[in-house]
Amino acid sequence: MATDVTMPQLGESVTEGTITRWLKKPGDRVAKYEPLCEVATDKVNAEVPSTISGTLLEIVAEEGATVEVGQLICRIEEEGGAASPQPVDQGRESSPSASASAGQETPSMKRRYSPAVLRLAQEHGIDLERIEGTGKGGRITRKDVLQYIEGRKAASPASPRGDESPAAAEKKPAVPEIQLPAAGTSAKREGISVSLEEGDQEVPVSSVRRTIAQRMVTSKHEAPHAWTMVEADVTGLVQLRERLKNDFKEREGISLTYLPFFIKAVVDSLKEFPYLNSVWAGDRIILKKRINISIAVATDDALYVPVIHDADEKSIGGLAKAIHRLAEKTRSGKLTLEDMQGGTFTVNNTGSFGSILSQPIINYPQAAILSVESIVKRPVIKDSMIAIRDMVHLCLSLDHRILDGLMAGRFLQRVKERVEAYGPDTQI
C-alpha cells in the first residue's frame, strides 16, 4: 500500500519549500523518522523525515522544485501494513455557532421598512404598498425600490434627462400617488380636538381621501397661489358642438362634450407659453417638453386626476376619446399607474357641476391649473348692442413663484382667443 508523503509546514507563515537534496532514492529502504530530503524555505532549512517505515517508491518533486505546503513530494510503500494511528476527530466540522433556527414562523417583513427604503419612497412619492418585496420574509429592499423607480422612468419618462436633478420636484408625480405617510405621522391629529356629539357620525378616512388631503395641503403650503380669470364668448363653440355631436356619437360611440375643445385651446396656448407647462425645482424651473394634460374625474367618493399624455399630438376628436377612456377607467377602478403620472398642466371641468367661478388648487407640482366653468347664456354688449351670448369663465390658479400676472394673463388671453375662434365650420 503506497502512502503519499506531502510537504510539511516547516514553520509559522511558511507556505512553500524548495527541495534542495534527496537523501533517498527509489528502491531505498526508509525507517520511520529517517530523513528523506533536505528542504529550504524562507524561514528555516530543514530535513523532512519519513512518517512511516517502508520502501521509497517514487520521487514526485525533483531537486530544485518549489512545492507548496501539503503538496505531494514522494510515495512510500509501507511495510507490514501497520498504519500509524490516526488521531480521532481530525477535521471535524466546526458546529455553526449562530445557525438560523428555522422552524418557527417569522412574521411577514413586508412592512419592515428600512431607512433607505423610506427615504427613497418619500423622495419619489412611492406607495410602498405597490411594491413586491424580494428581501427576507417579503421585505421590500432598497434594490426593490430602486428598480421600481427605474421601471417607472422607463414606463413614463416624464423627466427629460438625468437623475442628477434634486429629488424633490422633478420626480414627484403630478398626480395623487397614494402615498402612505410613515406609520405614525398620520396618526397624529396635529392637536385637533373635535368633540363628538350625539348623532355625529364618524367616517373613517380612506387612504385615497387621506392622500388627496395630503396633496392639497402640500400644494397650498408649497406654492403661493395667485388667481386670475377671463370671460370668453363661446357662442360659436356651442353652435359647432350642436352641429357635430350626433354624427360624432354615431361614428365614435361616445359623447362629444365641450371639454376637448377647451383642452385643445389650452394645449395650443401652452406651446406659446412654456412657463405655464413647467415645474418648480427649488433652484431652477423645469420647462416640460411634453404636454400632458391632467383632467379631473369625479367619482362618488373621490376625485381622480388621470392624464392625457402628449395632448398636443391629439385632435379634438382624439382628445374626446382620451377623455372618455380615462373617465371610464376611473369609474370602473381600472386606472393604471401610467394613467396617473406625468401630468404637466391640469384642466378642471368645474362647469360640469354648475359652477361659474372657482379657485382651483394647483395640482402639485405643476405650475398652474385652469378651471372651465359652466357655459351660461348671458346678455352682453357686442358691437355696441346687447346680445344674448354663451359665456364661460376661465379661471387660472398659478404658482406665483414661477408665474406672474402678466404672463398668466397673456396665456389666458390666448386661450380665450382660441375658444372664441371656434365656429360652426371649425374642423375637428
Partner 1 sequence: MPVITYIDAVTQALREEMRRDRRVFVLGEDVGVRGGVFRATNGLIDEFGEDRVLDTPLTESAIVGVSIGSAAYGMRPVAEIQFADFIMPAVNQIISEAARLRYRSNNDWHCPLVIRAPYGGGVHGALYHSQSVESIFMSVPGLKIVVPSTPYDVKGLLKSAIRDEDPVLFFEHKRCYRLIKGEVPEEDYTIPIGKAEVKREGTDVTVISYGLTLHFALKAAEQLEKEGISVHVLDLRTLRPLDKEAILEATAKTGKVLIVHEDNKTGGVGGEVSALITEEAFFELDAPVRRLCGPDVPAMPYSPPLEKEYMLSPEKVAAAIRELAEF
Partner 2 sequence: MGEARHLSLGLSDDQVLDMYRYMLLARKIDERMWLLNRAGKIPFVISCQGQEAIQVGAAFALDREKDWLCPYYRDMGMVLVFGQTARDLMLSAFAKAEDPNSGGRQMPGHFGDSRYRILSGSSPVTTQLPHAAGIGYAAKLEEKDLVVLTCCGEGSSNQGDFHEACNFAGVHNLPVIFMVQNNKYAISVPLKKQVAGGHVYKRAEGYGFPGVRVDGNDPLKVYEVVKQAVERARRGEGPTLIEAIAYRLVPHSSDDDDRSYRSREEVEEARKNDPLLLFKQYLTDCGILTEEKERELNERIAREVDDATEYAEAAPYPEPEDLYKHVYAE
Does residue 197 touch partner 1 according to CB under 8 A? no
Amino acid type, 391: M
Task: Using the rule CB under 8 A, give the single segment among 12-20, 187-195, 245-253, 351-359 that binds partner 1.
Answer: 12-20
Closest CA to 147 of 179, 180, 124, 177: 124
Does residue 80 touch partner 2 according to CB under 8 A? no
Of 268, 300, 404, 425, the catalytic one is 404
Contact pick of 64, 80, 94, 301 for partner 2 (by CB under 8 A): 94
Q: State which H helix or E strand residue 370 sits in.
A: strand 368-372
Which of partner 1, partner 2, none does residue 16 bind to, with CB < 5 to 8 Å depending on kind?
A: partner 1
Taking the complex as a whole, the smallest distance from the CB of residue 24 to partner 2 amounts, in Å, to 14
Which of partner 2, partner 1, none does residue 185 bind to, with CB < 5 to 8 Å depending on kind?
A: none
Give rounded-to-5 percent helix, strand, coil for the chain. 30, 25, 45
Q: Which DSSP string corresponds to 379-407?
A: EEEETTEEEEEEEEEEEEEEETTT--HHH
CA distances (Å), origin 202, targets 165, 198, 303: 43, 11, 21
Strand 29-30 versus strand 72-78 pairing type: unpaired
Which of partner 1, partner 2, none does residue 50 bind to, with CB < 5 to 8 Å depending on kind?
A: partner 2
d(CA 402, CA 398): 8
Q: Which DSSP string corresponds to 50-106?
A: -SS-EEEEEE-SPTT-EEETT-EEEEEEESTT-PPPPPTTTTPPPPPTT---TTSPP
Active site residue 393: no
Does residue 90 touch partner 2 according to CB under 8 A? yes
CA distances (Å), origin 273, targets 55, 270, 295, 400: 100, 5, 19, 15
Active site residue 301: no
Contact pick of 15, 20, 185, 359 for partner 1 (by CB under 8 A): 15
Contact pick of 82, 88, 203, 406 for partner 2 (by CB under 8 A): 88
Of 44 and 213, the one with the shorter C-beta distance to partner 2 is 44
Pattern 18-37, binding to partner 2, x per CB under 8 A? ---------------x-x--
Does residue 142 touch partner 1 according to CB under 8 A? yes
Amino acid type, 252: E
Contact pick of 116, 183, 357, 421 for partner 1 (by CB under 8 A): 116
Pattern 278-307, binding to partner 2, x per CB under 8 A? ------------------------------
Which of partner 2, partner 1, none does residue 27 bind to, with CB < 5 to 8 Å depending on kind?
A: none
d(CA 324, CA 122): 32
d(CA 260, CA 263): 5
Cell 388631503, residue located: 213
Does residue 89 touch partner 2 according to CB under 8 A? yes
Which of partner 1, partner 2, none does residue 33 bind to, with CB < 5 to 8 Å depending on kind?
A: partner 2
Q: Catalytic residue numbers?
A: 400, 404
Interface residues toward partner 1, by CB under 8 A:
9, 12-16, 42-43, 89, 92, 94, 97, 114-119, 135-136, 139, 141-143
